[in-house]
A and B are shown apart, each in its own frame.
Chain A
Amino acid sequence: MKKVNDSKRTYMLITIPILALFVCFNTVPLIRGVIYSFTNFKGFGTYDFVGFRNYLDLFTDPRIGGSYLFTIKLAVVATILTNVISLLLALGLNSKIKGKTFLRAAYFVPNVLGALVVGYIFQYFFTYILPGLGDALGIDALGGSMLSNSKTAWIAIVIVCAWQSIAMNTIIYISGLQTVPEDVYEAGDLDGATGWKKFRYLTFPLIIPFFTINMVLCVKNFLMVFDQIMAMTKGGPEQSTESISYLIYNNGLSGGSFGYQSANAVVFFIVIVAISVAQMTISSKKEEQL
């Protein structure tokens, strides 16, 4: 038997309990979830194994399909919106302007507020203030509540999601911009790189790692959107804003389809892993090193 040296043993002693905890509270529940996904478990009482019935049902259930469509649509639009706006904000807040520190703090406030609180405030805004404003200005498009129309409700959710996550993304971009050394810009100046060109060929390539992390975080957060739905629409109107997480919670825990929604959760897990891995590989190829 090979003799284990002391430092190795110390590392093992640190790692194994953490690993054990991780397995206990993360892996075991995950495996149990997978097992439940093959049953007709209601969340309590007895259950039978039903084989792949839940998985087959998933693909014929228009409600599941609708929730995937809504969630993906929301994730894509909100991710683009969030990243464009927060990159612009970060560029502004990183330049030499007055009251920079105050503005940075102010733009960070949405991130401090709870998503439920924000949701309830925006619900009031969309139900009363915006239509009131529309009436006062004579704009018909704003006359009705955005949340009561299945064509516009998802846009309202996008706005709230983006509004809140822009704060964190801006901070990440600002810290990224600060890693770009001044001499790169000086060299660029000599070559005549200004304005858009400066951003396109100097700044952006150097902050790609931050762009990557923002994209991955955004997509993952928006795919798992839940609080905003809970506060603003509860999945309505016409079930048009039922996100996947909302459906899993609502039908699996409050309703009696624990087994079926476990299957949904397993599929959703695979989808998120696949998307995240794909994102990481694509953007890591584009990263530049100084």
Chain B
Amino acid sequence: MKRKNAISAVLAVAMLTAAILPGCSSGGDSGVTEIEILQYKPEAATYFDQVEEQFNASHDDIHLTISSPNDASTILRTRFIREDYPDIIGIGGDINYSYYVDADILADVSDYPGLADVKQSYLDILENLEITPKDGTYGVPYVANAAGILYNKDMFEEHGWEIPESWGELIDLCEEIKAEGILPFYFGFRDTWTCLAPWNSLAVDLAPADTCQRVNAGETTFSKEYVEVAEKCLELVSYGPEDPFAYGYNDACTAFANGESAMYPIGSYAVPQILSVNPEMNIDSFVTPGNDDASKNTLNSGVDLMFAVTAECENKEAAYEVLDFLMEDANIQAYIDDQNAVPCKDGDFDLAPMLDGMTSFIESGNMTDYQDHYYPSEMAADALIQTYLINKDADAFLKDFDTRWQRYNRDIIRAVQEYNEEHGTAE
């Protein structure tokens, strides 16, 4: 009797589970290959809906689904943990990519012919993001972003202000703007991540590009490398609104759009939002001049979106066909028109007018990846920077940065140092 009860209970549970969890169907019967892309930029959802539609209209043998959820990195993790991998993931070139490569989630795509058209500097950026050097290429860079300082072009022309090329010129310009009764910068530091925008664009100028790798290898500390970055970041903030921590990203975009400040240090991704407030606005941007020697300045640019094929993808050829479609010049042009992005592919593309001030850097390839692409997100470097900008204690901030770096990167540091012991320091 008891046994029978137990069996019926087990059955009941099994039936319920089957009802709750719909099986992962592969739909392979009809001869159509299903390819699923999960990409992390919800703001580009309209573009990807179009791509999906066009692709499916022109391909009979492959059916493409693209989803663009909010908070995609959390969704990706929950899917990875269930071992339910999308065929292609669209992610940014940041520490998540490093983690995924390290966890062997991504497939080597070095046999993808389209890679030949991608600018070498972006492939190098991906290479540098690997925690320990690994053979092969694990992502196809699609577009890059560029961060510097956005400025109100009409306002600059009206007052005859010139674009600064060195730190001294920038500060002089700020003083000049202030003297006219206009606010030089706007900030939205209540949204902590925006603290990283001025920070990153100064850090590429003032700290070596491989700072984070060298810290992991135990060769230097942030207390040594970031002193000038911290100092100059604070100086920039002094030209902002009285209480920058009261406003969020949306507030800052709105204020800049309404002409409340002459400049806004943020990435090109903010432009669509600013234009939605003031469609008539004439926005351009320039590279943050962190050094007094203009030739040492470099553009802060990283891989904003890449496509990576997962190791579990069953039909790599179909995935490559989808990638080919995405990499067609017309589609890339449509994306960069929509999102003001910088293409990673070689070729003649029309860049958005708000990137005019940066074109010389983009064309000459004078670009350096964001330092924060190496920061683990749980370390909350943005919150540390926010804390520093509020209490202005640089020594305590840098010390804290070093301590937390060691805490949150312990496993990475161990892996790097083990690798270096085995292979000798290559760099």
Which residue numbers of A lie inside 8 Å of B, CB to CB? Answer: 1, 4, 9, 12-13, 16-17, 20-21, 24, 40, 42-46, 57, 61, 63, 123, 127, 131, 144-145, 147-150, 233-239, 250-251, 253-257
A198–B6 Cα gap in the complex (Å)?
A: 57
- Let me know if B13 and A255 touch, CB within 8 A: no
Within 8 Å CB of A9, what residues of B? 1, 5
Chain B: CB-nearest residue to A234: B192
- Let me know if A42 and B1 touch, CB within 8 A: no
Nearest CB in chain A: distance from B405 CB, A: 13
Nearest CB in chain A: distance from B234 CB, A: 15
Within 8 Å CB of A57, what residues of B? 407
- Let me know if A250 and B80 touch, CB within 8 A: no
Query: A9-B5, A127-B251, A237-B245 are known contacts; what are 6 more A-B pairs with Cβ within 8 Å?
Result: A17-B13, A234-B191, A235-B192, A238-B390, A251-B380, A254-B71
| Residue B426 interfacial (CB < 8 Å) | no
- Given A45-B103, A57-B407, decide whether A251 and B243 contact each other with a Cβ distance below 8 A: no
Within 8 Å CB of B2, what residues of A? 4
4 nearest A-B pairs in the assembled complex, by CB-CB distance: A45-B103, A255-B378, A145-B246, A148-B245
- Let me know if B243 and A43 touch, CB within 8 A: no
Within 8 Å CB of B108, what residues of A? none
A59–B17 Cα gap in the complex (Å)?
A: 39
Chain A: CB-nearest residue to B81: A44
A45–B248 Cα gap in the complex (Å)?
A: 35
- Let me know if A144 and B387 touch, CB within 8 A: no
Task: Kindly state the interface size class of chain B when it binds its partner.
Answer: 35 or more
- Let me know if A255 and B376 touch, CB within 8 A: yes
- Given A57-B407, A237-B386, decide whether A4 and B1 contact each other with a Cβ distance below 8 A: yes
- Let me know if A44 and B80 touch, CB within 8 A: yes
- Let me know if B77 and A236 touch, CB within 8 A: no
Which residue numbers of B lie inside 8 Å of A, CB to CB? Answer: 1-2, 5-6, 8-10, 12-13, 16-17, 71, 73-74, 76-78, 80-81, 95, 99-100, 102-105, 189-192, 243, 245-248, 251, 376-380, 383, 386-387, 390-391, 407-408, 411
Interface contacts (Cβ under 8 Å), in number, total 119
A197–B411 Cα gap in the complex (Å)?
A: 64
A253–B377 Cα gap in the complex (Å)?
A: 11
- Let me know if B243 and A150 touch, CB within 8 A: no
- Let me know if A45 and B243 touch, CB within 8 A: no
**B interface SS class:** helix
A251–B377 Cα gap in the complex (Å)?
A: 7
6 A/B residue pairs, CB under 8 Å, sorted by A: A9-B1, A43-B81, A44-B105, A127-B248, A145-B243, A256-B95
Q: Of A40, A123, A253, A256, which is in contact with the most chain B CB atoms at under 10 Å from its CB?
A: A256
A290–B391 Cα gap in the complex (Å)?
A: 58
Within 8 Å CB of B246, what residues of A? 127, 131, 144-145, 147-148
Q: Which of A17, A123, A127 is the one whose CB lies under 8 Å from B9?
A: A17
Chain B: CB-nearest residue to A235: B383
Nearest CB in chain B: distance from A270 CB, A: 22
- Given A42-B99, A43-B81, A44-B77, decide whether A256 and B13 contact each other with a Cβ distance below 8 A: no
Q: Which of B103, B190, B378 is the one whose CB lies under 8 Å from A236?
A: B190
**A interface SS class:** loop
- Let me know if A237 and B190 touch, CB within 8 A: yes
Within 8 Å CB of B102, what residues of A? 45
A145–B241 Cα gap in the complex (Å)?
A: 13
- Let me know if B81 and A40 touch, CB within 8 A: no
Q: Of A12, A40, A45, A63, which is in contact with the most chain B CB atoms at under 10 Å from its CB?
A: A45
- Given A148-B243, A236-B383, A239-B387, decide whether A251 and B378 contact each other with a Cβ distance below 8 A: yes
- Given A24-B13, A127-B251, A150-B390, decide whether A236 and B245 contact each other with a Cβ distance below 8 A: yes
Within 8 Å CB of A21, what residues of B? 13, 16
Nearest CB in chain A: distance from B401 CB, A: 13
- Let me know if A256 and B376 touch, CB within 8 A: yes
Within 8 Å CB of B383, what residues of A? 235-236, 238-239
Chain B: CB-nearest residue to A48: B411
A17–B243 Cα gap in the complex (Å)?
A: 58
Within 8 Å CB of B1, what residues of A? 1, 4, 9
A233–B378 Cα gap in the complex (Å)?
A: 17
Q: Which of B12, B17, B190 is the one whose CB lies under 8 Å from A233?
A: B190
Q: Of A57, A145, A236, which is in contact with the most chain B CB atoms at under 10 Å from its CB?
A: A236
Chain B: CB-nearest residue to A251: B378
A24–B14 Cα gap in the complex (Å)?
A: 11
Within 8 Å CB of B376, what residues of A? 255-256
Within 8 Å CB of B380, what residues of A? 63, 235, 239, 250-251
A13–B105 Cα gap in the complex (Å)?
A: 44
- Let me know if A237 and B13 touch, CB within 8 A: no
Within 8 Å CB of B76, what residues of A? 44
A251–B378 Cα gap in the complex (Å)?
A: 5
- Let me know if A237 and B9 touch, CB within 8 A: no
Nearest CB in chain A: distance from B105 CB, A: 6
- Let me know if B386 and A254 touch, CB within 8 A: no
- Let me know if B77 and A238 touch, CB within 8 A: no
- Let me know if B9 and A16 touch, CB within 8 A: yes
Q: Which of B73, B190, B379 is the one whose CB lies under 8 Å from A254?
A: B73
A149–B379 Cα gap in the complex (Å)?
A: 22
Q: Which of B74, B81, B248, B386 is the one whose CB lies under 8 Å from A238?
A: B386
- Let me know if A257 and B13 touch, CB within 8 A: no
Chain B: CB-nearest residue to A50: B411
Nearest CB in chain A: distance from B216 CB, A: 15
- Let me know if B13 and A44 touch, CB within 8 A: no
A213–B383 Cα gap in the complex (Å)?
A: 37
A46–B104 Cα gap in the complex (Å)?
A: 9
Nearest CB in chain A: distance from B390 CB, A: 6
Nearest CB in chain A: distance from B233 CB, A: 16
- Given A13-B8, A127-B247, A147-B190, decide whether A43 and B386 contact each other with a Cβ distance below 8 A: no
Chain B: CB-nearest residue to A57: B407
Q: Which of A1, A45, A123, A234 is the one whose CB lies under 8 Å from B104?
A: A45
- Let me know if B245 and A256 touch, CB within 8 A: no
- Let me know if B390 and A237 touch, CB within 8 A: yes
- Let me know if A45 and B387 touch, CB within 8 A: no
Nearest CB in chain B: distance from A120 CB, A: 10
- Let me know if A256 and B378 touch, CB within 8 A: yes
Nearest CB in chain A: distance from B245 CB, A: 4
Chain A: CB-nearest residue to B391: A238
